[in-house]
Amino acid sequence: MFAHLTPLPADPILGLSALSKADTNPKKVDLGVGVYKDDNGKTVILGAVQAAYEHMVETEGSKVYIPPVGWPGFTDACQELVFGEAMKADLAPHMAAIQTPGGCGALRLGFDLVHQAAPETTVWVSNPTWANHVPTLQAAGLSHKVYDYYDRENSTVDVDAMLASLEGAKAGDLVLLHACCHNPTGADLPADAWGSIIELMTKKGLVPFLDMAYQGFAAGLSEDAAGVRQVFEAMPEAVLSYSCSKNFGLYRERTGCLMVKGSQKDATAALTTNLAKIARTNYSMPPAHGAALVTTIMQNEALKQDWMDELAAMRKRINSLRASFVNALSPYGLDNRFGAVAGQTGMFSLLNLTPEQVQQLRAERSIYFPDNGRINVAGMTEANIPYLAESLSSLF
């Protein structure tokens, strides 16, 4: 049965961690997987998470199964973060929400639901998009097309080109949008573009699927949700995959949520039961730990404030690294070429480099990031930035 299977190439993002770990060069810099690191290069447990964990150790008392929709209160907490209290209440009769194993699990469950409801659906993804989007939608049996998004020459979003490509979509197609902190480019939709996209999706009968994995890393928790809120307000049907990996630093706990807005009578019951059934045949119910921590934090005003402060500190530090990086490039005359990095948002930016140049940096300088040129800015430190700048200059 298995004899014909041959080894596959490493994952373009996750595979880099092993390479970097094995590298003994003391100057190595890992700008690969999107995880936040502090100035010592460490991904530490957030203080609010540690406090919630200690509380949980004392109070959990059982490891019995949790309900298929997840840890009690967790999906409410996520919806409150995404929509705010008032809008969450307004949306409630139309919404289903289910806890998932991470943001990736939410994407897969969402695509599975779409495939179950309408197997012929085409998903439109941005050019470029996160390396795992297309494999995940394909694994769910869906096909995809690509819409223009990033103008590499000018390092900006080309909204006109995006709208022009989506004119080619047909009724019922799904449009995958990055809610904020676009991965891999760091270039978000301008605030005023959301209205035009909603108008076009409404006109053509398209269904939005928003991927929100970095809430709080661009401008702030509610600021980063502004586009999502407009979409869920305006569109009769919408899907959102949510990840707590980055903003709560819960990466390995696989903590995410899928939210779906439906238009039919009894939308909540119809969508929730279908989602729970798909989950049941896949992993039964999600893991409890990370969701319990998020819920504990969100239900305790002091812990919530601590968490929001820690999130703001991560955001500010990444922004200051962006500025330092571009400053460090200036003596080499590269501040123009890569200057957009300073104004982009979230963990990533896309350097306009060829795969060969990226591989050269990896081989000769022990600097690790995927071949598409995506850097995890959170992997920089004030100490490694001069080395990064000098290494980049060696390419030109």
Residues of this chain that interact with ligand LMR (CB under 6 A) are: 13, 33-34, 130, 132, 183
CA–CA gap between residue 279 and residue 246 (Å, rounded): 23
Q: Cα–Cα distances in Å, from 390 out to 95, 317, 334, 339, 365?
A: 51, 22, 10, 15, 10
Q: Which of 206, 274, 265, 264 is nearest to 235 (CA)?
A: 206
> Which of 211, 224, 306, 307 is flagged as catalytic?
211
Other C-beta atoms within 10 Å of 38: how many?
A: 13
Count of residues in the chain: 396
Copy the structure tokens of residue 362: 């990896």
- The number of helix segments (H) and strand segments (E) in the chain equals 13, 13
CA 154 remoteness from chain centre: 23
Q: Which of 250, 355, 265 is nearest to 310 (CA)?
A: 250
Composition of the chain by helix, strand, coil, percent to 5: 45, 15, 40
Asked if residues 137 and 123 have their Cβ atoms less than 8 Å apart, the reply is yes
Identify whether 128 is preceded by a cis peptide bond (ω within 30 of 0): yes
CB of 102 to ligand LMR, least distance (A): 8
Q: Which is nearer to ligand LMR, 246 or 261 (CB)?
A: 246
Q: Which is nearer to ligand LMR, 198 or 377 (CB)?
A: 377
Q: Which is nearer to ligand LMR, 275 or 347 (CB)?
A: 347
Copy the structure tokens of residue 364: 């000769």
Q: Which of 70, 87, 83, 97 is nearest to 261 (CA)?
A: 97
CA–CA gap between residue 239 and residue 375 (Å, rounded): 28
Copy the structure tokens of residue 385: 């930035």
Copy the structure tokens of residue 93: 């009769």
> Which of 30, 76, 88, 130 is flagged as catalytic?
130
CA–CA gap between residue 154 and residue 105 (Å, rounded): 34
Q: Is 130 a catalytic residue?
A: yes
> Which of 246, 261, 306, 307 is flagged as catalytic?
246
Instruction: Please report which helix (H) or strand (E) contains residue 208, including its range.
Output: strand 207-212
Copy the structure tokens of residue 113: 């639901």
Q: Cα–Cα distances in Å, from 75 out to 108, 139, 208?
A: 17, 25, 20
Catalytic residues: 130, 211, 246
